[in-house]
Amino acid sequence: MNKAKQSADLSGRRRRLGASRETMAAGLGLPVDTVKAIEDGAASDQEHDQYDTWLGRIEDWPADERARQFLAAGKGGRFDSKSQE
């Protein structure tokens, strides 16, 4: 799969989860411009892979946990990767 298609898939996955770029940026501790670059295919492979990994984690969270985490990110908090381990 080419990088442009992979990146388009990332933004689609984020939207299906109900998260804005701003929420993802806050939750991951990244600037919004970095999240945009990742989704646009202009970021490094490492940034792309990290974002993809986080989307996978978030997709595995139950809906109530996802809502809690997104709410916390909306208030400037970071995602808690250990919340469902």
Contact 73, 31 (CB under 8 A): no
pTM: 0.86
Instruction: Kindly list the domain boundaries of the chain, sorted by start residue.
Output: 3-74
Q: What is the pLDDT of residues 13-68, one digit of tens each?
A: 999 999 999 999 999 999 999 999 999 999 999 999 999 999 999 999 999 999 99
Contact 37, 46 (CB under 8 A): no
CA-CA distance, 15 to 9, in Å (whole number)? Answer: 10
Pair of tokens at residue 17 = 């989860």
In which band, very low, low, confident or very high, does the pLDDT at 1 lie, cut at 50, 70 and 90? very low
Q: Which CATH number fits domain 3-74: 1.10.260, 3.30.1460, 2.60.40, 3.30.420?
A: 1.10.260
* The predicted structure's pLDDT at residue 84: 55
CA-CA distance, 83 to 69, in Å (whole number)? Answer: 9
